[in-house]
Structure 1
């Protein structure tokens, strides 16, 4: 009699032959992984010169492809591949075009492939998290390893993709070096209140009361402080939603929302696609209306999805639009009507540099339609350009939400010494109002004017807005055909020139061809960046002209051959 443990059970509905075939697939996959591992560990004989050689863009693409294949292999192994599951090699994300490669040759790099390999020790969730991280931060990690420097590395990457304000670093470093910042006592060296130090929460409440023009003093007990706005959003998603539930988000929206909402909470973001053209009810590009929100909400309910809230950014990223008070009220009343939470990210509220534009914070509205379901996020990374201090704050009138989010302070708190420095910075209203804010707005206006003048000279359309750190530009005329695949190719072309921009696809934009260009940097760097930008556009035009000529020649040859064949038959 056979021992039951010695016999693999046959899945329901499968014959013994099918089970053997499944084991054959499993064995093949195991052999594939072993071959990969042998390849990874067999590079000790590799020429050291090749190890030091910089990878071309084509090489990076092949490595990503191999890494994706490895991840897929491990997933199949962990799930125990059964019949009917086809194991397919993923298609490359780019075509092999010489014009996009810039003449670079495709090479494999075992070292980078080994780094790309995801250990089978990871769980399925771990594999998903790792894949999400690498897909979200690939360009940023490349930039970190080879940054442009005007003295030491003029051939490095220029990053106009990451939204950072670098225009007032001189002002911030001078202020943070003053003697009042250098203070340490016993309490600052102990575990803090997980909600944030009381002195910082009190100052944040006063700061938001002043600069959000709140009708009444905001309560520090409604403030929770964590180590970034992303952490605040991630925590809110955890406490407001169960896995698989959803938020409505107008597109295009910050790509960071996907990472924050999905990493822990597994919350789905349902895009409310906005049209990039003016027509009919759309009096301006990318106009959000209650009708569009209701349409997506209705479609989600028809699909059995549970929508828990609406996620907005004001001023908007990447568009730079600032919502009017009436529009905000429309969105808030829509949310109340359908019992939805509203999360409003106001992280760019002090970047409104056009004096003709008035920013209206949700906290300035005297009678909110549903205060208990209205939650505001704010931080200092954009308004102050100190993303390295890692600070984000939540204000909510809902005590239960504040208490639940506070629990994440045990994982995402800020050092108490950093909290003290932030308190000192935020309470120095004289310096803020007379020095920092006026100079910051002036420098933002100046940088914005330079970039937009350059774009006008190149005949590149863009949204001309007066807030934020970026310009939303339209490069669709350089896509042939106008598809997201061609948008990716153009993005890769910029990378080949060591210039990082953010493509519209990463913002879930409905139409291909849009890019976000960050301008909040020093003038010399922007000049170098625009030189590279112009080079790419010129090469795109030349390559398109060449392709048209080649197609015309090929068509003429085909016509001539057809005519010759017809004459022979005659």
Structure 2
């Protein structure tokens, strides 16, 4: 896999006793985990109270209970910020667990509620002046949003400030948790540097059409028609361009659902949609294995190829989903962002757009972008294709806030138009590198005896580490995840994908050879540490018995 230096760097070896590798970080993991889970529980309960409050205006007891819980949440957040700023948590960080929905179980404990004083003025006293932004300068909604963001992206923020580099920072974080394609950055950098990309005119420097520049929407329509094998040319008027697929999904949730309503989705699934759907629209995602009684379901959300499992839906399965949705008058939002990342030649990807006829075209909405297939997530480009003109118009209005820069739209148009380069250079190289990286990672997992789902699509692999958890609970899963963080390795744990079984992790393998090699070495070291601790724990348990 690697033609570079075989020197492996394990950060905890040199950092033992300081920073992320210190033993001191192990002294309070349960306290941190308990505090985070308590905050997550109250975020969910508070959101539910605000939804109920809209229906029971004038109920003084309801207002009082809401105010008390807001005060409690502010106090808990202050404790969390104080812990983080004091450095006692070290490398434990916060697992990006999408707290708006990551509270399915009954999380015990929590601090005693304090009186809110004046419910319409959420001011809570804290010890650290720098932490007062949590409660002194934000409204109730701001407090919940800030808490959700902090808990969801703390690990990512640490990674951004301390990225691994083979020469400049060999002890930095290696991120196999974020689904980011780094396999063909050389090809993409070269293509985007060519002369035809360097063009500027007045229209590109001014406010764009909020739906996206007409020239880009026309090219997207041609691109999707070709690669999705659409029977008839797609209409550019059905295409809307925003700054990323999460923006498209968030706006779709907002225009299709009222606050408190829900979308149905199979699980496990991409947890980022939880944060996206709740941030603006306060729309809940209901998992198929949960009881949805009491919620009005407005739609079905699918990802094809699936994230995090890597499954590719058959044409018959897609048709069944669409027929089911039509029977209950549900919208179908299908994310096909990995459609060109199917690297197993025996697997055929079927876009929903390739169907001769859709059961309910006005309720079928397709999302795609270039972040995964082309590895240019920094462009912030997402596409909606829908037959429903009303939906397209409503989503377009969000271009006022979420449009893509004119210069980026021009470059994207040139890129998508270059079919000769895509088919002749980029895709063959990309698929070959995906296959090679997948072979490397699966070979290492087999050598370690770790079960995994062997699929042929996507940038990731779904692995089972249950044997390293004792007991096999989500609390132990979180502790193992934090042990990876202590060793400067980021993985995504199953709980963030609403997996109902503890012990599953998603590992991204779409990375350069040397970084993958370093990551696997750190992965192995963590599992060895975990095994030693489990043996000690089992021995102590046996002695007590």
> TM-score, length-normalised on structure 1?
0.76
**8 Å contact kept, 2:36–2:151:** no
Q: Secondary structure of the equivalent of 1:352?
A: coil
Q: Aligned pair 1:54/2:19, yes or no?
A: yes
Distance in structure 1 (CA, Å) of the matches to 2:517 and 2:137: 47
The corresponding residue for 2:261 is: 245
d(CA) in 2 for partners of 1:369 and 1:467? 27
Matched, 1:452 2:442: yes
Alignment equivalent of 2:463, drawn from 473, 492, 498 = 473
Partner of 2:334: 344
- The counterpart of 2:380, out of the listed 381, 385, 390, is 390
Q: Structure 2 vs 1, CA of residues 336 and 83 (structure 1 numbering), >3 Å: closer, same or farther?
A: closer
Q: Which has the higher contact order (CA 8 A, sep 6+)?
A: 2
Q: Contact 1:240/1:308 (CA < 8 Å) preserved in 2?
A: yes
Aligned counterpart, 2:235: 219
* Aligned position for 1:287: none
Distance in 2 (alpha carbons) for counterparts of 1:102 and 1:191:
45
Q: CA separation of 1:260/1:87 partners in 2, compared to 1, >3 Å: closer, same or farther?
A: closer
- Aligned partners of 2:254 and 2:162: how far apart in 1? 36
Change (3 A) 1:500 1:469: same
Distance of aligned partners of 1:522 and 1:495 in 2 relative to their CA distance in 1, 3 Å threshold: same
> Could you tell me which residue of structure 2 aligns to residue 485 of structure 1?
475
User: Counterparts in 2 of 1:312-327, with a 5 A limit?
Assistant: 312-327=302-317
Tell me the CA shift for residue 304 of structure 1.
2.4
Deviation at 1:553, TM superposition (A): 2.3
Report if the CA contact (8 A) 2:181-2:459 is conserved. Answer: yes
Secondary structure at the counterpart of residue 526 of structure 1: helix
Shift of 1:554: 2.6
Residue 540 of structure 1: how far off its partner (Å) = 1.1
| 1:368-387 to 2 correspondences below 5 Å | 368-387=358-377
Decide whether the 8 Å contact of 1:203 with 1:423 is kept in 2. Answer: yes
Cα 1:58–1:397, aligned 2, differ >3 Å: closer, same or farther? Answer: same
- Please tell me whether the aligned partners of residues 489 and 523 of structure 2 are also in contact (alpha carbons under 8 angstroms): yes
Aligned to 1:11: none
**Root-mean-square deviation (Å):** 3.1
Shift in alpha-carbon separation, 1:404–1:63, aligned structure 2, 3 A: same
Conserved 8 A contact 2:28-2:89: no
1:157 aligns with 2:157: no
**CA 1:209–1:151 in structure 2 vs 1: closer, same or farther (change >3 Å)?**
same
2:116 paired with 1:126: no
Shift of 1:80: 6.1
| Cα contact 1:70–1:117 (8 A) shared by 2 | no
1:441 aligns with 2:406: no
Alignment check: 8 A CA contact 1:371 1:397 kept: yes
Q: Report the Cα distance in structure 1 between the residues aligned to 2:422 and 2:443, rounded to whole angstroms.
A: 30
1:38-92 deviation digits (Å, cap 9, x = unpaired)? xxxxxxxxxxxxxxx736545896789889999989x99xx76799979698699
Per the TM alignment, residue 118 of structure 1 is displaced from its structure 2 partner at its CA by 1.1
Question: Does residue 294 of structure 2 align to residue 304 of structure 1?
Answer: yes
Q: Identify the residue that residue 255 of structure 1 maps to in structure 2.
A: 271
1:147 aligns with 2:163: yes
Q: How many Å separate the matches in 1 of 2:543 and 2:178? A: 43
Q: Secondary structure at the match of 2:365?
A: strand
SS of structure 2 residue aligned to 1:517: strand
Residues 428 and 484 from structure 1, CA distance in 2 versus in 1: closer, same or farther, beyond 3 angstroms? same
Query: How much has 1:337 moved relative to structure 2?
Result: 0.3
**Runs (4+) off by over 3 Å:** 53-73, 79-93, 101-106, 110-117
Aligned to 2:207: 191
Is structure 2 residue 389 aligned with structure 1 residue 399? Answer: yes
3-state SS, counterpart of residue 264 of structure 2:
strand
Which of 543, 547, 550 aligns to 2:540? It is: 550
Q: Please give the secondary structure, in 2, of the residue aligned with 1:269.
A: strand
Q: Distance in 2 between matches of 1:485 and 1:64?
A: 8
Q: Quick one: distance in 2 between partners of 1:121 and 1:509? A: 36
Q: Which residue of the partner structure matches residue 13 of structure 1?
A: none
Residues 449/84 of structure 1: CA separation in 2 closer, same or farther (3 Å cut): closer
Q: Is the 2:32–2:89 Cα contact (8 Å) retained in structure 1?
A: no
**TM norm structure 2:** 0.80
Are 1:231 and 2:196 an aligned pair? no
Aligned to 1:114: 130
Residues 411-465 of structure 1: CA deviation (Å, up to 9, x unaligned):
0000001000000000000000000000000000000000000000000000000
Q: Distance in 2 between matches of 1:419 and 1:340?
A: 33
Check whether the contact 2:176–2:507 (CA below 8 A) recurs between aligned residues.
yes
| Structure 2, unpaired ranges of 5+ | 1-17, 50-62, 81-87, 94-125
8 Å CA contact 1:65, 1:90 repeated in 2: no
- Could you tell me how far 1:272 is from its partner in structure 2? 1.3
Tell me the equivalent position of 1:210: 226
Larger radius of gyration: 1
CA distance in 2, matches of 1:238, 1:82: 24
